[in-house]
Amino acid sequence: MKLHPRDVPGVVATVVATAIGLALMVSGSSMAPASGPALAERTRELELGATTESLLVAQLEHQLGTHEAPQLPEGWQELFRDTPNAKGELRAGNDQAIAARLLEGRASYQRNCQHCHGVRGDASTQTAKILLPRPRDFSLGLTKFKQTPGLLPPLREDLHRILEQGVASTAMADFAMLEEAERTTLVDYVQYLLMRGAVESRVAGALQTLAQTDGAQTADPAEVEFRVLEGTRVALEAVGTEWRNAPGTAFTEVPAPADDAAIARGAELYKSAKAGCAQCHGIDGKGRGLGAWDAEHGWILRDVWGNPVRPADFSYGSFHGGGSPEQVYRSISLGIAGTPMAGYAGVLSPSEITDLTHYLRSLSD
C-alpha cells in the first residue's frame, strides 16, 4: 500500500502515538489519569445541570459500576458468556468469571488503549487531539467497521478483527502481538465501554430534550429523578436487546469472482447518477469529489462524532473497513455507520455491487 500525501501528518502523529503506546506497554502504566469526570465529554457538553448530572452518575454507577470497577447489570452477563473467540472456540464462564475478565480487560485497556481512547472511552485525551482521523469515541456506543447494518452494535467478531488487524491508514495499529486471551479480555472491556456509552448517551439525550421542553430550571427535582431512573431502565433494556439480536443481522453475502467485464461494468456504474460515487470520491476515485471537498473550506462532510470525513482515495488501495473483496462488498452494501456513506443494498442489485467492488479494488492495481 502506497502512502497518501494527505496522510503524512497523520502518519507522523501515528508514529508519535505508537511510540507513546509502546512506552506505556513496557512500563505498564498510562499517561491518562486513572480517574476524572464520571461522564463522557460529549455528555458534559450538553450542560444538563449539576443536579441532573449527579443523578445520572449515581444511576450509571449503580447499574454499571465505575470505570475503575466495572460491573454488568442484570441480563447483560449472557452477552459476555459462551461467546466464540477468534478461533471459533466457545468460552464458558459464570458471572464471577466474567467480572474478573472485565477487570483484566480494563488493565490491558489502560496499558494499550487508554492514552488514545481515554478513561471513559470518549477519545478526549491529549494524544487523540493530535491524530487524524481521531481515535474512535465509544461514548455513542457506535463503531464504523462491522458486519451489522445501520446503527446496530458490532459483533464481538468485529472487535476481535480490529484488534488483530488494526485499521488501515489510521493510528489504530494491530495488536496481534498480544496473546489471544488478552485480546479477548480487551474485547470484553471495549464491549462494556460501547454498551455503557450507548446507555449514557441515550439517557443524556432524552434528558436534554425534556429539559428544553419544560425548562431545566423549572423541572421538579422529583420529576428529574424519575426521568433519570426511568430513562436508565429503558436504555439498559434497549441496549441489551440490540446486542443480543446483533448476530442475527450479520451480513454474510460474498461477491462473485472478478473479471474484466465486471470491472468495466463497475466503472460505468461508479460514474453514473444511480450510484453517485463520484460525488464524494471524485470522478477519478481519488476522494475529492464536489460533495466532499472544497478548495476554500477543505473537507465538507462530518460524521456523527463531529469529525471531518475524508472519502477514500481508491487509487491508494487503503480501505479502512478492510480491502478484501468480501469486506469492500460489505462496506458498499451496508455503508459506514455514523458517516455520510450510506448503504447501497436497497439501491443496487447484488451483481451491481459486485461489479462496483471489483472496479474500486482495480483502481489501486
Q: Does 362 have pLDDT greater than 70? A: yes
Of 2-6, 126-130, 283-287, 355-359, the range with the lowest mean pLDDT is 2-6
16/152 Cα distance (integer angstroms): 33
Q: 282: which DSSP letter?
A: -
Q: Note whether 223 and 265 are same-domain residues.
A: no
211/274 Cα distance (integer angstroms): 43
Q: Note whether 58 and 158 are same-domain residues.
A: yes
Q: What is the pLDDT of residue 1?
A: 41
Q: What is the pLDDT of residue 16?
A: 53
Q: Note whether 167 and 307 are same-domain residues.
A: no
Q: Note whether 294 and 206 are same-domain residues.
A: no
83 DSSP β-pair partners: 91
Point out the domain boundary residue: 248, 272, 307: 248
Count of Cβ atoms closer than 10 Å to residue 69 Cβ: 11
Quickly state the pLDDT bin for 9 (edges 50, 70, 90). very low
Query: Is the separation of the CB atoms in 56 and 39 below 8 Å?
Result: yes
Does the residue 253 lie in any domain? no
Point out the domain boundary residue: 208, 223, 248: 248
Q: How many angstroms separate the first and last alpha carbons of the chain?
A: 10
Does the residue 254 lie in any domain? no
Q: How far is CA 299 from the centre of its chain?
A: 21
Query: Is the separation of the CB atoms in 197 and 139 below 8 Å?
Result: yes
Q: Is 253 left (phi over 0), alpha (psi -120 to 50) or beta?
A: beta
Quickly state the pLDDT bin for 191 (edges 50, 70, 90). very high
Q: What is the pLDDT of residue 147?
A: 96
Does the residue 153 lie in any domain? yes
Q: What are phi and psi of 90, to 5 degrees?
A: -85, 140
Residue 360 is placed in which grid cell? 474500486
% of the chain with per-residue pLDDT over 90: 71
Q: Note whether 201 and 267 are same-domain residues.
A: no
Point out the domain boundary residue: 223, 248, 273: 248
Mean pLDDT across the chain: 87
At 298-350, the pLDDT tens digits run: 999 999 999 999 999 999 887 889 999 999 999 999 999 999 999 999 999 99
Strands 298-299 and 293-294: antiparallel
3 state SS of 120: coil
Q: Note whether 240 and 278 are same-domain residues.
A: no
At 96-114, the pLDDT tens digits run: 888 899 999 999 999 999 9
CATH value at residue 286: 1.10.760.10
Q: Note whether 70 and 169 are same-domain residues.
A: yes
Residue 351 is placed in which grid cell? 451483481
- Selection from 134, 154, 132 nearest residue 145 by Cα: 154
Q: What is the pLDDT of residue 32?
A: 46
Quickly state the pLDDT bin for 117 (edges 50, 70, 90). very high
Rounded average pLDDT over 250-269: 96
Q: Note whether 166 and 235 are same-domain residues.
A: yes
Axis-axis angle for helices 350-362, 260-271 (nearest 10): 100
Q: Note whether 149 and 232 are same-domain residues.
A: yes
Residue with cell 512500563: 27
- Selection from 289, 361, 302, 294 nearest residue 332 by Cα: 361
Q: What is the pLDDT of residue 316?
A: 85
Q: Note whether 315 and 216 are same-domain residues.
A: no
Using only C-alpha atoms, what is the Rg of the chain?
21
90 DSSP β-pair partners: 84
At 38-64, the pLDDT tens digits run: 999 999 999 999 999 999 999 999 999
Q: Note whether 241 and 126 are same-domain residues.
A: yes
At 122-150, the pLDDT tens digits run: 999 999 998 988 999 999 999 999 999 99
Does the residue 4 lie in any domain? no
Of 88-97, 155-164, 261-270, 318-327, the range with the lowest mean pLDDT is 88-97
Quickly state the pLDDT bin for 31 (edges 50, 70, 90). very low
Axis-axis angle for helices 8-27, 95-112 (nearest 10): 120
- What residues make up the domain containing 202? 9-248
% of the chain with per-residue pLDDT over 70: 85
Q: 248: which DSSP letter?
A: G
Q: Does 92 have pLDDT greater than 60? A: no
Q: Note whether 231 and 299 are same-domain residues.
A: no
Number of domains composing the chain: 2
Strands 90-91 and 83-84: antiparallel
CA distances from 198 to 226, 235, 306, 358 (A): 20, 8, 17, 36
